[in-house]
């Protein structure tokens, strides 16, 4: 009998300089989950990797990406169609940034350019009262310090979705799509160094958009909250 395995769906690459020095999204995520690397499969769907039969999967994490859900790339649409079966199978799923948006889009929500503008840096996410009854977020501090970088957002929620957390830059930072499927617009796998590198790489664009890149860089700080979320999710797999 084949045992089920955890799956990371890789939807893009981190900054090349970070990949060279510190590894890529999937490595940060797997480390955060607290799982041995050899126990987790990775499907780089943006490069054409196939997706397994959901019956072989114990749970799924979907990474971030520099791509946009609204681009409707064939690999993204294919992944979204596959996710329908996974959600119906009641498997634990965590979507991060692009993954968060892809789940919402797949389940009937709407993703667009964030009407509040780009959100980047270390941010405060305020958990709502609904989070106290959620098995992934219950017991966490009401104010989470986490890291974000995105220009698109979930602007309309799928029917039945619970919003568990908000930020000044995005009212839908944490979503629960049923009892076992979550999305975070922020990156729980990032640390302060990673988000500083993203701020530095986008410095000219940030200035053009009216953001203070220096303040964003200086305000980046480490927090255990992202690691806690990943470790909790890892226990479900």
Whether the CA torsion 83, 33, 118, 47 is positive or negative: it is negative
Q: Directed axis angle between helix 98-106 and helix 74-88, to 10°?
A: 70
Catalytic residue among 26, 97, 147, 150: 97
| Residue 6, SS3 per DSSP | strand
Q: How far apart are CA 13 and CA 98, in angstroms?
A: 12
Q: Yes or no: say if 158 and 102 are a contact pair by the CB < 8 Å rule.
A: no
Catalytic residue among 147, 152, 189, 225: 189
Catalytic residue among 100, 147, 150, 187: 187
Q: Tokens in use for 106? A: 């797949």
Q: Clarify whether 189 is annotated catalytic.
A: yes
Instruction: Provide the CB-side half-sphere exposure for 110 (13 A, CA).
Output: 6
The residues annotated as belonging to the active site are: 97, 187, 189
């Amino acid at each position: 009998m084949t045992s089920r395995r955890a799956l990371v769906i890789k939807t893009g690459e981190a900054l090349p300089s970070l990949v060279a020095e510190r590894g890529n999204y999937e490595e940060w995520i797997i480390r955060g989950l607290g799982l041995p690397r050899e126990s987790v499969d990775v499907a780089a769907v943006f490069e054409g990797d196939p997706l397994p039969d959901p019956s072989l999967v114990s749970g799924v994490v979907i990474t971030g990406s520099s791509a946009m859900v609204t681009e409707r790339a064939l690999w993204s649409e294919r992944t979204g169609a596959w996710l329908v079966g996974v959600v119906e199978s009641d498997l634990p799923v965590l979507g991060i940034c692009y993954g968060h948006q892809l789940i919402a889009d797949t389940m009937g929500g709407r993703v667009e350019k964030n009407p509040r503008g780009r959100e980047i840096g270390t941010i405060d996410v305020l958990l709502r009262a609904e989070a106290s009854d959620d098995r992934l977020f219950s017991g966490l501090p009401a104010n989470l310090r986490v890291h974000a970088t995105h220009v698109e957002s979930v602007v309309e929620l799928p029917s039945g979705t619970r919003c568990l957390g908000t930020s000044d830059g995005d009212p839908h930072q944490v979503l629960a799509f049923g009892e076992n499927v979550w999305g975070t617009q922020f990156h729980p796998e990032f640390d302060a160094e990673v988000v500083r590198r993203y701020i530095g790489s986008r410095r000219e664009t940030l200035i053009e958009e009216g953001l203070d890149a220096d303040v964003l860089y200086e305000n980046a700080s480490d927090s255990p909250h992202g690691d806690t979320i990943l470790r909790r999710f890892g226990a479900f797999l």
